[in-house]
Amino acid sequence: MINKINIYIILLNIAIGYLIYVVNKIYFNSYFIYVKKDRIRNQVNSRNFKFTRSKIFNKTKIRLKEAGIYDDKSIIKFILSAYIMPVIIFFLLCRNDIYSIFKALIILIVLISFSEYKLFKLKKTRRLIFQKNAYKIYKFLNNQYSSGVRFDKSITSVFEVINDKDLRLNLMTMGAIYSQTSDMDLALKELSSNYLSHDVETLCLTLKQGIMVGNNIETLINQEKLMFKKYFNYIKMETENQKIKSFFIVFLFSLVVILLIGIPLIIEMSNATSKIFMY
């Protein structure tokens, strides 16, 4: 029969390996290549914050920024709840028997996975919010341009057609920066650094082209049609995805329950078999 200490070491190595995977995911997040500077209004507050020198903190800050979380206190709370607390709970639940170690490992993986899934959902929801509102932006710019309103004036008031609070604030800040500095690149950073997707990059390019060229009515019309089509397809796909998500959640929790019940039975059968062959 396998020594209990060896099994404990194996399970502990699995837990450490999973934590290393999560840390590597923080360091090499695929969206990092799109990330630019932080918000102007947060730069002054973050300079004197001690934890900003930490690479893990900064990488986590970038990931949480994609999810709409900006302040340092919320970032620290996420790190504590998502990574540090699960490890503490793991060691608190560990006992001398194999079953308690395995149960603690399952809980550790579930807690970290839940935090990662929640963060993924926040980022996805944020990108979808922009995608659902993008056609309104193009439509507003198109109508303003057709009415003879200057493109730079339209940019400062485009936030008026958006209902989402966070996106509206980003567009309002973008317009305020441009009206005060006349620097379109600086203004677009407010939007591109908070909504990291191809659709945002396209909008920024269109806005910059409108300022530089002044005549991009065809681009606005085409983008309005494209984004409205994406919005309509999203509504259709969301209905189908709800069924898949429900099945996956039921399957995941059923698997955890089966493992928690099945492992003790296997251990008992192994002990009973070893006792039979001893005689």
Q: Choose the most confident range, by mean pLDDT, from 21-25, 67-71, 190-194, 258-262.
A: 258-262
pTM above 0.75, yes or no: no
pLDDT score, position 129: 85
235 pLDDT exceeds 60?
yes
Query: pLDDT of 166-197, one tens digit each?
Result: 889 888 989 889 888 888 888 888 788 777 77
DSSP for the chain, please give it.
---HHHHHHHHHHHHHHHHHHHHHHHHT-GGGGG--PPPHHHHHHHHT-GGGG-HHHHHHHHHHHHTT--SHHHHHHHHIIIIIHHHHHHHHH--SSHHHHHHHHHHHHHHHHHHHHHHHHHHHHHHHHHHHHHHHHHHHHHHHHHTT--HHHHHHHGGGG---HHHHHHHHHHHHHHHHH--HHHHHHHHHTTS-SHHHHHHHHHHHHHHHTS--HHHHHHHHHHHHHHHHHHHHHHHHHHHHHHHHHHHHHHHHHHHHHHHHHHHHHHHHHHHHHH-
29-75: pLDDT as tens digits: 433 333 333 443 344 344 443 444 456 667 777 777 777 777 777 77
